[in-house]
Chain A
Amino acid sequence: MNQSTSMHDNTRGSWLGRLLSYSLLAMFVLVGTVAVARAVSLGLGDLSSPGVGLWPFLLSICLLTMCLVYAVALFGGNEKFLFPIPKGFNYAILVGIATLVVGLLLPVTGYLPALTALGFVVCWWVGGYSWIKSLLIAVIAASSVFAVFVFGLNIRMPLFP
């Protein structure tokens, strides 16, 4: 764990790290700004009769204030606020994309094909297992969980398309 931390720390100053840090800050600012605009359009009212938008407005102002402090620290060169990038290929990106694809395809493909594919990606690509072993693990894991939920807890989910 310590090794991995130091490995990340070495790459904090990279351009990609900076880009990701600014992107994350931009995301929070965007969320805060959109929430402020939406809250104002909902109506703020006053303290004696608060409008629907008052509470979200107060929270978004708090978020934007925190973003300002974050931005000051980031542009001031505080390394703690930079996104650490690990050296070499980051398999988390691969698995992250795979999970998003599965999330989108699940209603179309059903549970078993989608989760088997995801398990296969994890075992074969990331885990380095042979394709047959990966497929076997993925099918067994997906089917076992399906069995627990469907037969044990009576919760239904479309198994196939």
Chain B
Amino acid sequence: MLDGLISGFEVALSPENVLFVFLGVLIGTVVGVLPGLGPLAAIAVLLPLTYSLSASTAIIFLAGVYYGSMFGGRIPAILLNIPGDSSSVVTTFDGYPLAQKGRGGAALSITAIGSFIGGSVSLIGLTFLAPLVSQVAVGMGPPELFMLALFGLFMVTLIGSGGATKSGIAVTFGMLLAVIGMDPMTGAQRLTFGFQELIDGIHIVPLVLGLFGIAEVLIDTERRYSRGDGPKALKKNFPSLADWISVRWAILRASVVGFFIGVIPGGGGTVSSIVAYGMEKKVSKNGEKFGHGAMDGLASTETADNASSTSSFIPLLTLGIPPNPVLAVLAGALILHNVTPGPQLMDENPDIFWGVIASMYIGTVVLLILNLPLVGLFVKILKVPAPVLTTIILCLAVFGVFSVRQSFFDVALMFVFGIVGYGFRKIGIPAGVLIIGFILAPILEGHFRRSMIMSAGSLDIFLQRPVTVTLICGIGILVLGSVIPKIRGALKGGLETRYRARLSRRRE
């Protein structure tokens, strides 16, 4: 493990990779600062720019954008009451009241340190846990890997945001899109409907750029950029000793909570920040101050958010299962570079596996250095006019998609997906889950077919192995846990309606 980490640092400390770690976290912070432009849209826009890079450098760069954006998302949340991304929503609860009290600078400093500690604790966990999980996963066969991917899919669908029905539609729609093209085993065409451009399937870049980049542009333009005024000048005040004392346990607790929630498929930054905030509110002596500018509440949300973004790499790097949409796009980036994320990654591509982990140590330190003295500079980015930003994003998106296969069809497809993504956003269908379905579909199909070949077409193979049986039970529990409360609610609602109807009849 130590040898691996040392070799990872050798990769991450090469001048090129250090530069891309720096660029990644810098761009990530800017992305986090700009309201609306989340890490998903940003990584989608930047993905084509990484083609000319080596696989390890590309992933190091894109990972930097991801955790950098988690770091930067707190700035508009605290100063403007506008979350840079969904995981920063909880940050506004206490961050903005603190800024209104003239303590914006202190709040930003505390959250920067909290994010650093959360990220570091999670990195240590990632370093020790990832190889162990990877070693266990290497011994798994197609039935186990199929059931594991299916379990991950159920987790994301049932636990993730958007509700089970909408997520279910998104995930199956995404899987169906992945089917388009050539059959991986026979080479026959599937669902191409005579389009020559679809023989190689739908490429992930137009899909992601459309669903997130273009859809984001459409959402942004809907109300003519009603973002409001930029932030006021930031007062240079630093946290007091009392502030540090009040947040120390909150930061540690949130680091642990964020780490574990990040590992769970469907968890991620938003869930971890909500859980950490709720937990801290219960255990804190200042519980009544939460929502009115509690420093420990603020520290817990941002710490958990950053801890989860780091630990979410564990299922991707070790099992090949992206736990959230951003990592699904990162998985897509790995596949674009002919690298398959999963149990074999540590053995076959140790430079990527350990290089990414080591780069995160460097990136976390760079983020802290960038965010403490340069916070005023990032605040100024909030004043970039939105129409200018939109125009640049549109140009980047068109060129980025075209550069993949030199196909105008892909560009048109991106715009169509943009409108679909806009529709999804309006009705609350989580497009991120669609991407997870799109990424996992070929994995599921491959393992399912191999399992069927192994068992000569008998589904009993999934009931004969302890791991698959455990995972089936897990899926069953997940489904029941999701359905039972709804049935209960419906029954209760029905009983209430009947009771009210009877009551009104009596009155009449």
Contacts and interface: CB of A to CB of B under 8 A. Distances in A.
Given A73-B165, A137-B388, A122 B394 contact: yes
A63 B176 contact: yes
B169 A66 contact: yes
A50 B462 CA distance: 17
Nearest to A145: B395
Contact of B179 (A55, A83, A84, A153): A55
Contacts of B51: 153
Interface string A92-134: 1011100110111011000100110011001100111100001
Contacts, number: 192
Contacts of B392: 141, 144-145
A156 B441 CA distance: 32
B452 A115 contact: no
B386 interface: yes
Contacts of A53: 190
Contact of B49 (A32, A111, A153): A153
Contacts of A35: 176, 191
Interface string A21-55: 10010001001100100110010001111101101
A59 B411 contact: no
A31 to B, nearest CB: 7
Contact of A66 (B168, B223, B398): B168
Given A103-B412, A126-B221, A56 B190 contact: yes
Contact of A127 (B168, B223, B385): B385
A79 B225 CA distance: 27
B423 interface: yes
Nearest to A4: B223
Contacts of A128: 224
A62 interface: yes
B275 interface: no
Contacts of B190: 38-39, 42, 52-53, 56
Interface string A70-82: 1001000000111
Nearest to B452: A47
Q: Which of the listed residues A59, A69, A100, A114 has the most CB atoms from chain B within 10 Å of its own CB?
A: A59
A156 B402 CA distance: 9
A8 B223 CA distance: 11
Nearest to B449: A50
A80 to B, nearest CB: 7
B196 interface: no
Given A35-B176, A83-B427, A142 B222 contact: no
Contacts of A38: 190-191, 193
A53 to B, nearest CB: 7
Nearest to B442: A55
Choose among B226, B398, B428 the residue with the greatest number of A CB atoms under 10 Å from its CB. Answer: B398
B238 interface: no
A104 B390 CA distance: 20
Contact of A86 (B223, B402, B428): B223
Contacts of A59: 172, 175-176, 179, 441
Interface string B82-98: 11000000000000000
Given A118-B394, A153-B49, A70 B403 contact: no
A92 B458 contact: no
Interface string B185-222: 01010110100000000000000000000100111011
A15 interface: no
Interface stretch (B61-69, B264-272, B413-421): B413-421
B222 A24 contact: no
A89 B437 CA distance: 34
Given A48-B457, A59-B175, A59-B176, A111 B398 contact: yes
A149 B404 CA distance: 12
A39 B175 CA distance: 14
Contact of A31 (B173, B387, B459): B173
B398 A115 contact: yes
Which of A62, A94, A146 gathers the greatest number of chain B CB atoms within 10 Å?
A62
B219 to A, nearest CB: 7
18 contacts: A24-B423, A42-B190, A50-B452, A52-B183, A55-B179, A55-B448, A56-B179, A59-B179, A66-B168, A83-B423, A95-B221, A96-B218, A122-B394, A126-B387, A127-B387, A127-B390, A137-B388, A149-B399
